[in-house]
Chain A
Amino acid sequence: MTPRWVICRSCGRHVKAGDRACPHCDAGLSRLDSVRAPERRSVAVGRVVLATAVTGIGAGACGGHVMGQDAPSQADILGSCPASLPSGGYTSCVDTSISCNCTQAAGCTCTSPPANLCACGRFGECSGGSCVPQDCGSDSYLSSTGCKPTYWFEGKLPPTATCYGCPPLLA
Chain B
Amino acid sequence: MNVARGMRRGTPLGAMLVAVIALASATTHASDRLQFEAAGRAGFGLALGNVDTAPGDRLDQTSPGMVPFGIDFGVRLQSRWRAGAYFDFAPAAFVGDALKRLGSGNAVRVARFGGEAAYHLRPEGPFDPWFGAGFGAEWLWAANSAGSTSLSGVEMLLEGGLDMPFAPEWSWGPFVGATFGAYTSLPNPDVHEWALVGVRVVALFGGGASAQASGRGDGSDP
Q: Please give the residue numbers on chain A whose beta carbons come within 8 Å of chain B beta carbons, in ascending order.
A: 5, 12-14, 23-24, 45, 48-49, 52-53, 55-57, 59-61, 63-70, 139, 141, 143, 148-154, 156-164, 166, 168-169
- Inter-chain CA distance A61–B72, complex, in Å, is 27
- Alpha-carbon distance A148/B149, docked complex (angstroms): 18
Partner of A157, one of B53, B147, B191, B220: B147
- Give A150 to B98 CA distance when docked, in angstroms: 9
B176 near A53 with CB under 8 A, answer: yes
Taking a contact as CB atoms under 8 Å apart, the answer to whether B53 and A49 are in contact is no
Q: Provide the residues of chain B in CB contact with A154, threshold 8 Å.
A: 102
Identify 6 new A-B residue pairs, CB closer than 8 A, beyond the known A59-B158, A150-B98, A162-B104.
A24-B220, A151-B62, A151-B98, A153-B149, A157-B148, A158-B147
In the assembled complex, which residues on chain A have CB atoms less than 8 Å from the CB atom of B27?
none
B91 interface contact, C-beta 8 A: no
A residues in contact with B129, CB < 8 Å: 45, 48-49
B55 A168 Cβ-Cβ under 8 A: no
Chain A, residue nearest B49 (CB)? A63
Q: Which residues of A are found within 8 Å of B51, using beta-carbon distances?
A: 151-152
**B104 x A157 contact (CB < 8 A):** no
Contact: A159 with B146, CB < 8 Å?
yes
Is the CB–CB distance between A52 and B49 below 8 Å? no
Number of contact residues on B: which range applies? 35 or more
A63, B192: Cβ atoms closer than 8 Å: yes
A152 touches B146 (CB 8 A): no
Contacts of A159 in B (CB 8 A): 102-103, 144, 146
Residues from chain B with a CB closer than 8 A to the CB of A163 are 104
Residues in chain B near residue A150, CB distance under 8 A: 54-57, 61, 98
- Knowing A45-B129, A48-B131, the reply to whether A13 touches B215 (Cβ < 8 A) is yes
Min C-beta distance of A138 to chain B, whole Å:
8
B48 adjacent to A61 (CB under 8 Å): yes
B221–A66 touching, CB < 8 Å: no
Assess whether B221 is in contact with A141, with CB atoms less than 8 Å apart.
no
Contact A152 B143 (CB under 8 A): no
